[in-house]
Structure 1
């Protein structure tokens, strides 16, 4: 199973939790590809994910399956060769756009499952991973909130959340989807740059059922739970953002305990992880 993540040193905790959750749900070898970069963002500077973190993660994955590997790619040069200038100061970090450079890496697998680092595998994702992608550049789930406000075709609901995406890399290269999306991020300021560009420019995208990217809450059939910001209406209208590495908040505010096996593993690794993030 080929998995793609993107981010900086601050995403190390989420990367480890997400990858460990995959290891819990499948015994198949995991080939994890991590895109990172050193990015100067004006008032915000971002440091690349250290090699020591990916080495630590690979060692943990190989305890269950020696054929699992973690590959780290420093994309600093590629990023600045085609910098998303119009969207460097959005609410989202520039790393949200880093996946759009994956087509520039020689030798990446034809099929990739992209995951945000705040996504946890709740069940075995093998069937989703093996979905037929013939003729589709990307496969994803409707954005829980955005589907009501955005669409790019005649179909009423077609706006995908980009936190869980199956990527058909040969077709993406053929249609130049990522290259066009990079150009759009460079020239057009957008609220959610990479997600908006992919939805706008994808010629062919398939819509998967909600259970493959549950953004609101976990259900019995949830395969991937995505810890996004959500709205709550009681006792007043407010937003709630809880990330998997905020373990006490996962328990106290979301009342989730079914991930404790993974979170306990993360807690065991936390001291070593903290030392390697520096």
Structure 2
């Protein structure tokens, strides 16, 4: 089972939680690919995750299956060579765009499940992962809010705007169509609110939209497979946004009143002090 994560050193918190939760629900060997980079911006410099952190994660997942591995790719040079200048200073970190370079890493296999590091696994997903993707570039889930406002074409009636927190990528097809290369060029020249998510939604030709169970962006439900701890909109008692990440364990309990992941979060709290 091939998994893709992307980000800087700060993602190690979410990466640990995500992998612990996945190991709880599948005993398949995990082939985890991590894209990272050191990226200087006007506000700050994002530092690549270290090999020591990756080795720590690999040790943990091999406790479940000794055939699992975590492989790190520092793509700083690739990123800087095609720097997405138009989107370096949006409210989203430039590290969000790193997945758009996955097609340039030959070690990344033809089928791979991409997950944001604020996603937690709640159920087994073996059947979802094994679905036929011969004729699609991307399998994804509608964006809970954005799909009501954003359309690939203004005249589209059916909702089709996907959230980018979870994608099942057909990398063989993506390399053929040049989807990621086109998205990189768009991010270089056009400023967008959610750069890579917007670019992928605009440019993808062959996609499959599946149940929200595989990228639940609102509330945990009985059928939820992956819960995405993304920003939520609340309208009462006043309009406001709410962002709680899984590594904010106190807020998960006190604000979200969520206890479903207590075993995973307890293990995270035990391990994170010793993670390089």
Into which bin does the TM-score normalised by the smaller protein fall? over 0.9
Q: CA RMSD in A?
A: 0.8
Distance 2:261 2:205 in 1: 37
**1:132 correspondence with 2:132:** yes
Distance 1:264 1:250 in 2: 12
Q: 1:184 aligns with which of 175, 183, 186?
A: 186
Q: 1:156 Cα deviation (Å)?
A: 2.1
Given the two structures, how large is their TM-score scaled by the length of structure 1?
A: 0.97
More moved, 137-146 vs 102-111: 102-111
Q: 1:262 Cα deviation (Å)?
A: 0.6
Q: 1:155 Cα deviation (Å)?
A: 4.7
Figure out how many residues of one structure are paired with residues of the other and give that number. 274
Q: 1:232 Cα deviation (Å)?
A: 1.4
Distance 2:237 2:86 in 1: 38
Given the two structures, how large is their TM-score scaled by the length of structure 2?
A: 0.98
| Runs of at least 5 residues in structure 2 that lack an aligned partner in the other structure | none
SS of equivalent to 1:170: helix
Q: 1:109 Cα deviation (Å)?
A: 1.0
User: Which residue pairs with 1:47 in the alignment?
Assistant: 47
Distance 2:44 2:150 in 1: 29
| Pairs within 5 Å for 1:52-71 | 52-71=52-71
User: Which residue pairs with 1:259 in the alignment?
Assistant: 261
Distance 1:158 1:128 in 2: 20
| Runs of at least 5 residues in structure 1 that lack an aligned partner in the other structure | none
User: Which residue pairs with 1:148 in the alignment?
Assistant: 148
SS of equivalent to 2:13: helix
Q: 1:227 aligns with which of 209, 221, 229?
A: 229
Distance 2:24 2:123 in 1: 9
Distance 1:150 1:160 in 2: 9
**1:171 correspondence with 2:173:** yes
Distance 1:60 1:238 in 2: 38
Distance 2:89 2:10 in 1: 18
Q: 1:160 Cα deviation (Å)?
A: 0.3
> Cα deviation per residue 1:194-219 (whole Å; 9 max; x = unaligned)?
00000000011110111010001110
Distance 2:162 2:128 in 1: 16
| Pairs within 5 Å for 1:18-33 | 18-33=18-33
**1:112 correspondence with 2:112:** yes
